[in-house]
Amino acid sequence: MSDVNKTLELVIATAKSNKVSFTSLTYTNAEGEKATHLINLNATYEKAKAKDIATLEKIVDSSLESEILIQAKNELLASLIKPNENLSKGQINAYTHINGALKYHNETKDLYMFGLVAKKKVLSEGVYKETNKRALTIAKDKIKKDYKLKTATYKQFKISRFAKVSLFGETIEFQIEE
């Protein structure tokens, strides 16, 4: 068994024990940005979703500046109340869930960590392409930011892009196989 597999087994065993609440990790995203993240692995996405629903329901349409913001608010609310069932089923079937924070992709064999980003410090900037976001997507992003929606602070990290992970104050180095 390789050192990488032993390390993954250690992370999985530690996570299954549910003793880990916060994890610090250094992560390089697909655009090359390298950042240290403090992740709350025990934060409950369902609670965040319920708070966001309550927040969005309190927003009075007349308080929004444009029709596109009203549409964005309504679509965000609808997606939180009733997520796409086909997408949800596909996600369930594609992964083996280890706990609320870790899941293993059955086909690609990648491990993913999901949690609430409590803190992020960028170590080196990435190269981001100019996006061609539609006006509705920009409006949704604005509402998420302006109303501090909790679900927007949850992120998923692919284990193969980790440089370093700390659990219980111990540092576990991941060697990325290219």
99 within some domain: yes
Q: Please tell me whether residue 171 adopts helix, strand or coil conformation.
A: strand
The secondary structure of residue 65, as a DSSP letter, is S
Structure tokens at 90: 């596909």
One digit per residue, the tens of pLDDT, for the chain of length 178 reads 445 456 566 666 666 665 667 888 888 888 999 999 988 887 888 999 999 999 999 998 888 889 999 999 999 999 999 876 666 666 777 888 777 777 888 888 788 888 899 999 999 999 988 889 999 999 999 999 999 999 999 998 887 666 566 665 555 555 443 3
Query: Cβ distance 105 to 91 under 8 Å?
Result: no
Cα 168 from chain centre: 21
150 within some domain: yes
178 within some domain: no
Please give the mean pLDDT across all residues of the chain. Answer: 81
146 within some domain: yes
Share of the chain above pLDDT 90, in %: 37
Say if strands 102-105 and 95-97 run parallel, antiparallel, or are unpaired. antiparallel
132 within some domain: yes
Structure tokens at 172: 């576990």
Query: Cβ distance 11 to 112 under 8 Å?
Result: no
Structural domain count, the chain:
1
Backbone angles phi, psi at 41, to 5 degrees: -80, -15
Which residues lie across from 156 on neighbouring strands?
114
Residue type, 137: T
- Domain assignment of residue 22, given as a range: 3-173
Q: What is the pLDDT of residues 39-86, one digit of tens each?
A: 888 788 899 999 999 999 999 888 888 999 999 999 999 999 987 666
Cα torsion for 91, 97, 103, 106, to the nearest 10°? -70
148 within some domain: yes
Please state the length of the chain.
178
Q: Kindly give, in sequence order, each residue whose CB lies less than 8 Å from that of residue 42, ignoring residues fewer than 6 positions away.
A: 18, 20, 21, 100, 101
